[in-house]
Amino acid sequence: LAERILQDLGNVFKKEPLVKEFDVVPVSNSSCNRSPVVCVDGHLALGSWCVPHVYGYAYSRLVEARNNIVRHEKESILGWSRLVILINPDVQLAWNVRKELFLCKQTSFQEELQFSQLVLTRKPKCSEVFSHRRWLMEHNLRGFSSDRANVILQEELKVCLQAADRYRCNYYAWTYRIWLMDRFVHGNPLMLESEMQQTRDWVRSHVSDCSGFHYRQYLLRRVGSVPLLSRELSLCEELCLLHPGHEAIWAHRRFCLW
């Protein structure tokens, strides 16, 4: 049964060019002999009744494969790691296996980015996902042209904001965004000021999110511009008047004044 479910899941990823979202949906039993794997318009779901069985099976096979990865079919290992990560993305072992498969060219840079982004739709505050994306960037950055690197940076910044939208005070998403700025932008004041502008509307609509304000404090430190700080104080004043009861705004205002 577990192998059939894994096969159904694998077929979805083969047929669907881009799976947009994943979640486990509550289903009490395996009635009507239907597959627990359902995908509609790129939205993938797994019936909850099968999770204990298929997860335990995939995890045990993955542990076995990790000890002797050469003996196993790479496609099978990819399927086991995919299932384990989709259900429990905090399992570092599964991510390490995918790193090995990537280094063996069994999976591509773009495929790993798409898969890890899919994982974030269910678990947007998972540190292992951002750690994996960072590893991918570090192992491929040297091969990027400047134009390609800029395209990737913009896509990664979008991923960060999507994760921050899905989970309030998403420390890992904002920390990864800071790493991207340090790694790609190299202190370019124009790029950093552009980031201030791009995240301005976001903090306006997320006034309780201290992680978003902390990111702007990082940008203010990097730029070191008095006019920029003055504009930030004006933003704080505006938000304090509109939302006087939100501590995150006042804490950010205190940072700007000090």
- According to the model, what pLDDT value does residue 74 have? 86
- According to the model, what pLDDT value does residue 67 have? 76
Round to whole Å and give the CA distance between 89 and 16.
Answer: 21
- According to the model, what pLDDT value does residue 28 have? 76
DSSP secondary structure, 66-92, as one string: HHTGGGS-HHHHHHHHHHHHHH-TT-H
pTM for the whole structure: 0.92
- Tokens representing 11 are 């077929």
Q: What are phi and psi of 37, to 5 degrees?
A: -95, 120
Report whether pLDDT(25) > 60: yes
Report whether pLDDT(32) > 70: no
- According to the model, what pLDDT value does residue 118 have? 98
Measuring CA to CA, how many Å separate 167 from each of 74, 91, 181, 209, 219?
34, 20, 21, 10, 22
Measuring CA to CA, how many Å separate 154 from each of 30, 102, 149, 150?
43, 23, 9, 6
What amino acid occupies position 206? H
For the stretch 207-216, pLDDT in tens is 999 999 999 9
For the stretch 80-131, pLDDT in tens is 999 999 999 999 999 999 999 999 898 999 999 999 999 999 999 999 999 9
Round to whole Å and give the CA distance between 116 and 129.
Answer: 6
Q: What are phi and psi of 145, to 5 degrees?
A: -75, 165
**pLDDT-derived band at 141, boundaries 50, 70, 90:** confident
- According to the model, what pLDDT value does residue 65 have? 87
- According to the model, what pLDDT value does residue 31 have? 57
Report whether pLDDT(61) > 90: yes
What amino acid occupies position 52? P
**pLDDT-derived band at 144, boundaries 50, 70, 90:** confident
- According to the model, what pLDDT value does residue 231 have? 94
Mean predicted lDDT score pLDDT of the chain? 93
- According to the model, what pLDDT value does residue 146 have? 86
* Range scoring the smallest mean pLDDT among 18-32, 130-144, 182-196, 234-248: 18-32
**pLDDT-derived band at 33, boundaries 50, 70, 90:** low
**pLDDT-derived band at 16, boundaries 50, 70, 90:** confident
Q: Is 195 exposed, middle or buried (0-12, 13-18, 19+ CB in 10 A)?
A: buried
Q: Which residues contact 251 (CB under 8 A, 6 or more apart)?
A: 210, 213
- According to the model, what pLDDT value does residue 12 have? 96
- The CA-to-CA distance between both ends of the chain, in Å, stands at 62
- According to the model, what pLDDT value does residue 207 have? 95
CA nearest 138: which of 101, 87, 184, 104?
Answer: 184
